[in-house]
Structure 1
Amino acid sequence: MTVQPDTGEIQQAPVAAFLARHLNGRTDEELSTEFHTLLDAVRAHGKKGSMTITIVVDPPANGVESAPMPIGIESAVKAPKPTPVKSLYFLDNDGMPVREDPRQTQLDFRTAPTTTDYKDA
């Protein structure tokens, strides 16, 4: 933040311009890639997602006022994921998941004999 001595106007550095210049533009490229990955995932899964950008500022080394301040950019993307496919199971008497209902009685099926003799009507 800079104060203009003749007008007293306060000038602040635009955050977007800072992000675009940080690490010679590499941060902007990485954030853009993550942003478009998020957009693709939201479009593909029809669910919301989010992206958080954090600017981390460390104090100057050894508390020296004129020393440089380390500034880093961190990002976190919470992209939606596909809903996992589920399958239905029953619990048997031992509490184990099984595909067939243990309370249902089993019917023994057998193949009916085949014939080629047809009765004329």
Structure 2
Amino acid sequence: MTTQPIETHAPAERADIAAFLASHLNGRTAEELSTEFHQLLDAVRAHGKKGQLVITVVVDPPANGVDSAPMPIGVESAVKAPKPTPVKSLYFLDHDGNPVREDPRQMSIEFRTAPATDTFKDA
């Protein structure tokens, strides 16, 4: 009885995503992503709120469905950096429902300017 050698196929080496991003567009993609990442870190530190950097790898099928045709691959990113909390001011609503700075229920007091003087008392 003769035995046939068993053919074994080594698993194909998979592309490393970090290496792909580093080399995509001759390194420009990695530079842009690094810049966006550091801007996000600065915004999170400055505002004390969480942020997000989303990296999307977009792969289009080969042209005309030809197996040997090149596959267009792009990298997109979106930064959701925290923003400062807007400053608020207090308002009252008048009888028509409009915002006003002074309380319409409060009695107003007329102010008058005190006379100016150039003389000072000695202590």
Q: TM-score, normalised by structure 1?
A: 0.83
Specify whether residues 86 and 7 from structure 1 end up closer, same or farther in structure 2 by C-alpha distance, changes over 3 A only.
Answer: same
Q: Tell me if 1:76 matches 2:82.
A: no
Taking only the aligned residue pairs, the percentage that are identical comes to 77
SS in 2 for 1:106: coil
Relative to structure 1, the CA distance from residue 20 to residue 112 in structure 2 (aligned partners, 3 Å threshold; closer, same or farther) is closer
Aligned to 1:46: 48
Q: Distance in 2 between matches of 1:34 and 1:111?
A: 56
Question: Distance between the aligned counterparts of 1:66 and 1:113, measured in 2?
Answer: 94
User: Cα–Cα, structure 1 residues 25 and 100, in superposed 2: closer, same or farther, change >3 Å?
Assistant: same
Please identify runs of 4+ aligned residues in structure 1 that moved more than 6 A: none
Q: Confirm or deny that 1:33 pairs with 2:35.
A: yes
TM-score normalized with structure 2 length: 0.82
Q: 2-side partners of 1:82 and 1:54: how far apart?
A: 27
Quick one: structure 1 residues 111 and 24, their matched pair in 2 at CA, closer, same or farther if it must change by over 3 Å? Answer: closer
What is the CA RMSD across the aligned residues, in angstroms? 2.2
Q: CA deviation at 1:10?
A: 3.7
Q: What per-residue deviation string (whole Å, max 9, x for no partner) do you get for residues 29-61 of structure 1? A: 000000000011111111110000000000000
1:108 aligned onto 2:100 = no
2:89 is aligned with 1:87: yes
How many residue pairs end up in the alignment?
Answer: 113
Tell me: CA distance 1:67–1:102, structure 2 relative to 1, closer, same or farther (3 Å): same
Cα distance in 1 between the residues matched to 2:61 and 2:11: 26
SS at match of 2:102: coil
Please name the residue that 1:57 is paired with.
59
**Which residue in the other structure is 1:19 paired with?**
21
